[in-house]
Amino acid sequence: MSTPEYHEVTEHLTNLIEIDGLEVPELTTDSDLEADLNMNILKDYEDLMTLRDDICYSTENQRGCKQFRYNVLEQYLNKKPHPASTMRRRDTLSSLKKRQLQSGPEVLERFTLYSAETGVIKGQFLSQLSTEGNSLIDVIQRGNFWIDVLSPTNEEIHILSKVFNIHPLTTEDIMELEAREKFELFPNYYFVCFRTFDQDMNSDTYLNPINIYNIVMPEGVITYYFKPTPHSQNVLKRIQSLQDYIEVKPDWINYAIVDDVTDAFEPRIENVELESNSIDELVLILKQSEQSDMLRRIGQARKNVMGLLRLLGPKADVVGRLIKRYSDKPSSHATGDDIPLYLGDIQDHILTMLQSVNHHEKILSRAHANYLAQISIEITQTQNATNDVIAKMTFVASFLVPMNIVTGLFGMNVKVPHQTDPEAIGEPVWPFYSIVAFLAAMGMMFYFVARWFKLI
């Protein structure tokens, strides 16, 4: 490693170690010791990463402290960008699979900052949220801010957690892409995990869940998600249209996100309603030649319904806990008494949608059963038609077999009674009667054997 590269790596690692509150070891540029010192620093940094990712690791400033750590944010914003700043920690196999499933395309503007004073500011990195005369720290100090983050790196999550004194349990849930929707209350903020879905109906990942994590503090909101969704832009448009009439506060922003996610389900439920009603009407009237695609339609519709039920199911409980939070512990930073009313309306909307989806699931289940019954009836009708043809052929054969016996008897090489052939005169007739008696005896024997074994 060359000396400039060595200094660049050590400076970057030193900044990270200082941010995490560890003592910085003395560094030397002695060429004979460069390799050993570099290995030691890398080992210290690796140990630090392992320690800080443990959920039980918590500094004193994180234990219910309400003061933000602006010095940590300032150090992070002022340090030089380095490739290591975007690296993720070593994931487990399960978390890596989750991250691969929810990883979105590369975007240029991953960070969005909103406040009433600055409006909307976007940037690829956190450091780009500062403008001339309005630094990021100034915006945070004034309060009522919203930081929206798409596909954050583990380092960015960790830095923001340090700055805003976020509990390690919350940090771990975000890093591990916690899938369970929930509401958790902490001393200086509350944490909401709410799930939306991929809304592209032509995509292979349609209705796949997308997690949205809201950290709501008295001073502002931080939102994380790992795949592009339209909800943040919808909320920003709503804020811009209402900011002249209401004071946009953190609780209102959280409500607006939850409301927009909930409203996104309405068009999908309408599609399910149209499809289920169409299937229910067609399943019993389509001709056999037109039913080849019906089973696939029923299966796809039921798959969409089950996906909606899986996403809508936990939401009523999460919204209910949000309402209870306002009822039990009124907060001074709540937007009056309106937020619980708005959340109650969302809860009613969710319950109504759940009832509707459950109703259409029953319709599709009945249509599925009716379709299978219709197929069974058609198969039975086909079998009955086949049996009818066979019965008619058997009836015809019952006339042909006696004729065959008669013609066969008269074709035997023995004298037949009343035969007037001159060559047969004087020959005995008993061979003919013996053959007839043998055939009759065999017929009677087969009849009684069949009756004995209950074959007829």
CATH code of 140's domain? 3.30.460.20
Band of pLDDT at residue 328, cut at 50, 70 and 90: confident
Structural domain contains residue 19: no
Q: What is the tens place of the pLDDT at every residue in 127-144?
A: 889 887 788 999 999 989
Mean pLDDT of 41-68: 55
Structural domain contains residue 427: yes
Q: Are residues 351 and 309 both part of a single domain?
A: yes
Cβ atoms of residues 279 and 367 within 8 Å: yes
Structural domain contains residue 364: yes
Structural domain contains residue 307: yes
Sheet of strand 209-216: strand arrangement: 119-123, 111-115, 145-150, 220-225, 209-216, 189-197, 182-186
Q: What is the tens place of the pLDDT at every residue in 11-32?
A: 555 555 555 555 445 545 555 4
Cβ atoms of residues 321 and 191 within 8 Å: no
Mean pLDDT of 375-394: 87
Dist CA 153 CA 171 (whole Å)? 12
Lowest mean pLDDT among 83-87, 397-401, 405-409, 434-438: 83-87
Q: Are residues 230 and 378 both part of a single domain?
A: no
Structural domain contains residue 294: yes
Q: What is the DSSP string of 308-357?
A: HHHHHTTHHHHHHHHHHHHHHS--TTS-TTHHHHHHHHHHHHHHHHHHHH
At 364 the three-state DSSP class reads helix
Q: Is pLDDT above 90 for 80?
A: no
Mean pLDDT of 421-443: 77
Structural domain contains residue 383: yes
Please report, as a single letter, which amino acid is at residue 257. I
Q: Which residue has the higher pLDDT, 187 or 421?
A: 187
Structural domain contains residue 100: no
Mean pLDDT of 163-175: 94
Q: Are residues 190 and 263 both part of a single domain?
A: no
The tokens of 122 are what? 């976007």
Q: Which residue has the higher pLDDT, 129 or 413?
A: 129
Structural domain contains residue 320: yes
What pLDDT was estimated at residue 434? 82
Out of 243, 262, 297, a domain closes at 243
Mean pLDDT of 170-178: 93
Q: How many domains does the chain have?
A: 3
Q: Are residues 194 and 262 both part of a single domain?
A: no
Task: Give the list of residues 6+ apart from residue 324 with CB closer than 8 angstroms, or none.
Answer: none
Q: Are residues 152 and 120 both part of a single domain?
A: yes
Q: Are residues 262 and 186 both part of a single domain?
A: no
Q: Name the β-bridge partners of 115.
A: 119, 145
Mean pLDDT of 275-297: 81
**Range with the largest mean pLDDT of 19-28, 60-69, 161-170, 287-296:** 161-170
Dist CA 413 CA 435 (whole Å)? 11
Q: How many CA atoms lie within 13 A of 145 on its CB side?
A: 23
Q: Which residue has the higher pLDDT, 414 or 357?
A: 357
Out of 209, 243, 277, a domain closes at 243
Q: What mean pLDDT value characterizes the chain? A: 79
Count CB-CB contacts under 10 A for residue 286: 15
Q: Are residues 212 and 349 both part of a single domain?
A: no
Q: Are residues 191 and 111 both part of a single domain?
A: yes
Q: Which residue has the higher pLDDT, 327 or 228?
A: 228
Domain span including residue 401: 397-453
At 209 the three-state DSSP class reads strand
Count CB-CB contacts under 10 A for residue 278: 13
Out of 195, 218, 243, a domain closes at 243
Q: Are residues 73 and 220 both part of a single domain?
A: yes
Q: Are residues 369 and 265 both part of a single domain?
A: yes
Q: Are residues 196 and 275 both part of a single domain?
A: no
Q: Are residues 254 and 390 both part of a single domain?
A: yes
Cβ atoms of residues 135 and 141 within 8 Å: no
